[in-house]
Structure 1
Amino acid sequence: MSTIRLGLAGTGRIGSSHAETLTTLPGVDAVIVADADTERARATAGKLDIEYATDIDALLAADLTGLVISTATDSHPELITAAVDRGIPVFCEKPIAADILGTLAVVERVAGSTVPVQIGFQRRFDAGYRAARAAVASGELGWVHTLRATTLDPAPPPAEYIPRSGGVFRDCGVHDFDIIRWVTGREVTEVYATGANRGEQMFADAGDVDTAAVILRMDDGALATVSLSRYNGAGYDVRLEVLGSQGNAIVGLDDRAPLHSVEPGYPPSALPVYPGFMDRFHGAYVEELTTFVGVATGQAANPCPPGEALQAFYIAEACELSRREGRPVRIAEVRS
């Protein structure tokens, strides 16, 4: 078997976590990291006893089996295309680009290539979401009439991140939009979204909101609601309820969910709540990167190509338009 050498661009919070995960994967012989901040890359490499490259060009020239991209969004298009042009399979954290035009440009650029590009939507690799998808596909829930999704962060991200985030729908809600499509196998046709700012001024200054509510109409008539907030002080709360004519499936309802019943006889769990997404989805991230190794070596099919990420981004874009204009928006409007 040939040597498996994986590169990682971006050694911030999630990048450093990915680097650590990559070093534990069976069959991976070497991990090389790089960052615009060379000292940060050096520190990560030293902590994990792995190699680092002085810049991205040096990383791409390091005879890589695959490249994991966890840099800032504005660098994703250039890094994806640079790797694909060199024949290096890519795993890139969402989003592909900061807007639809940039996303379409990348999708079209890589469409004719045989080099795989896997986009990071880790919820597809979570055991609970996979079980919900299987329940829908089997028909055991009957016909699905309602979905309720939540992504509620315990505290806001750093202030400097907000203007670069793309807004709550593109940055946060896009995970819910993707997983609703994936679990149901259906497409969203129309959205209505609204938002509010009751927290720090930084969200309003960036033209964003800190809390949002969305109604999605699916192509089979089912309705989905998505609740988003940056201020869920009880803890990190990510759930999906799939309600059907014969049954239901609920993801994220476990003893670490930050839900506190006030009904008599229901004491709170003794387990700590999830503090954030990296803890809640640790297993999913491991499975996702394990799958990417298979994709990069030709042993697995690509579970989330760029076209899939584009569909979720269309929904996020429609939500932002709906919020700003105060009206329902059909997905077809943002595709044109």
Structure 2
Amino acid sequence: MIRFGILGCGRIGQVHARTLHRLRGARVAAVSDAMPLAAETLAEEVGAEVRASDAILSAGDIDAIAICTPTDTHADLIEAAAHAGKPVFCEKPIDLDIDRVKACLETVAATGTPLLVGFQRRFDPHFRALKDALTAGRIGRIEQIMITSRDPGPPPLDYIKRSGGQFRDMTIHDFDMARFLLDGPITRVLAVGGALVDPAIGSAGDTDTATVLMETTTGAQVVITNSRRATYGYDQRVEVLGSDGMLQVGNQPETALRTATSSGFEHPVLLDFFMVRYKDAYANEMRAFMDMVETGAPPPVSGQDGLEALRLADAADRSARSGAWVVL
């Protein structure tokens, strides 16, 4: 039985705790949160104890740690878990500052700590099938990748002000997806961004609408489009053009039913929340974490993956501000 400690009992901490609670061979032994009621409610649901974060990190009856706290706590908690000799899952990003991430990963390496970073889209069965098809050579050499990621609506302005910006908060998932699919490193980045959804987001120094163009060492091109407003639902699509064909993952509707009448074709509405769209991905992610702890297998998404995604986010931010290509 692997005993897990959950740090952070907000919505993503709840999702991970519930998944682990359902997995055979796993037990959520303890949870913590800055809000006592959140911790108590989740603890009762999954049969865990409520403890302070420090107590969970140092506890002898906790085998692994899942960090689901605010971003500015991630690096410190990863290092504390590493010094305590506990494998770690941490939601992205490790930190918003590249140098802080590097320092954290040095600690992880020095202690030999297994670290899985939470880019859940890699665990989505649809995107996984696309990756497997690329690996099998189904469409030959990759020439273009088009990634669309649009939220139904923007988050609260308070969140915007502390998120690190659209490229580090939202597009970072798409940067990781591009790296996941590509067969060569990215060499340069060009980005534009604007506040077309809400002028208040622009006044806060952020963007809500962005387009990114990237190029790899092989000459392959990647285009990412982001928006904080998609009135029709949560828009998540990927298309890959290769020398021998094309692969595509479309949006996931609420049901697969389509209706055709004399008036035309009707399609179900799209899923409208990331927690619903990526429900299977989050479950697969926790299974991978458990397998990593149990077997000692290398993390399927490493701390270095987290660092490289943040490096691309920083490059996109610099490009959007300067209007020029950023060479990596």
Give the TM-score of the pair, scaled to structure 1: 0.91
| 2:237 maps to amino acid | R
Offset at residue 180 of structure 1 (A): 1.1
Distance 1:134 1:34, change over 3 A: same
Mapped partners of 1:212, 1:328: distance in 2: 15
The answer on whether the counterparts of 1:242 and 1:249 sit within 8 Å (CA) in structure 2 is: yes
User: Residue in 1 aligned with 2:2?
Assistant: 4
The answer on whether the counterparts of 1:69 and 1:91 sit within 8 Å (CA) in structure 2 is: yes
User: Residue in 2 aligned with 1:319?
Assistant: 316
Offset at residue 254 of structure 1 (A): 4.3
SS state of the match for residue 144, structure 2?
strand
Matched, 1:197 2:195: yes
**Cα deviation digits, residues 95-134 of structure 1 (max 9, x gap):** 0111111111111221222220110111111111111112
Gap regions ≥5 residues in structure 1 = 332-336
Alignment of 1:169-184 (within 5 A): 169-184=167-182
Mapped partners of 2:286, 2:4: distance in 1: 11
User: Residue in 2 aligned with 1:146?
Assistant: 144
Mapped partners of 2:96, 2:204: distance in 1: 15
Mapped partners of 1:266, 1:127: distance in 2: 31
SS state of the match for residue 324, structure 2?
coil
Offset at residue 252 of structure 1 (A): 3.0
| 1:223 maps to amino acid | Q
User: Residue in 1 aligned with 2:233?
Assistant: 235
SS state of the match for residue 29, structure 1?
strand
User: Residue in 2 aligned with 1:160?
Assistant: 158
| 2:66 maps to amino acid | V
Offset at residue 301 of structure 1 (A): 2.5
User: Residue in 1 aligned with 2:282?
Assistant: 285
The answer on whether the counterparts of 1:22 and 1:31 sit within 8 Å (CA) in structure 2 is: no
- How many residues get paired? 322
SS state of the match for residue 95, structure 2?
coil
**Cα deviation digits, residues 290-320 of structure 1 (max 9, x gap):** 1101112234331111111111111111000
SS state of the match for residue 59, structure 1?
helix
Offset at residue 60 of structure 1 (A): 1.6
Mapped partners of 1:276, 1:325: distance in 2: 33
**Cα deviation digits, residues 118-165 of structure 1 (max 9, x gap):** 101111111111111122222220222111001100011122111111
The answer on whether the counterparts of 2:251 and 2:270 sit within 8 Å (CA) in structure 1 is: no
Q: Kindly, what percent of the aligned residue pairs are identical?
A: 39
Mapped partners of 2:46, 2:133: distance in 1: 40
The answer on whether the counterparts of 1:95 and 1:309 sit within 8 Å (CA) in structure 2 is: yes
Matched, 1:59 2:53: no
Mapped partners of 2:55, 2:34: distance in 1: 12
Offset at residue 29 of structure 1 (A): 2.9
Distance 1:119 1:98, change over 3 A: same
Gap regions ≥5 residues in structure 2 = none
Offset at residue 36 of structure 1 (A): 1.4
The answer on whether the counterparts of 1:152 and 1:232 sit within 8 Å (CA) in structure 2 is: yes
| 1:145 maps to amino acid | E
Give the TM-score of the pair, scaled to structure 2: 0.93
Aligned counterpart in structure 2 of residue 301 of structure 1, from 290, 298, 320: 298
Could you say what the CA RMSD is over the residues aligned between the two structures, in angstroms? 1.8
Mapped partners of 1:220, 1:212: distance in 2: 25
Alignment of 1:55-134 (within 5 A): 55-62=52-59, 63-134=61-132
SS state of the match for residue 31, structure 2?
strand
Matched, 1:274 2:271: yes
**Cα deviation digits, residues 64-97 of structure 1 (max 9, x gap):** 1110001100000110000010001000001011
Mapped partners of 1:254, 1:27: distance in 2: 31
Mapped partners of 1:114, 1:61: distance in 2: 17
SS state of the match for residue 231, structure 2?
coil
Distance 1:235 1:65, change over 3 A: same
Distance 1:321 1:43, change over 3 A: same
The answer on whether the counterparts of 2:120 and 2:281 sit within 8 Å (CA) in structure 1 is: yes
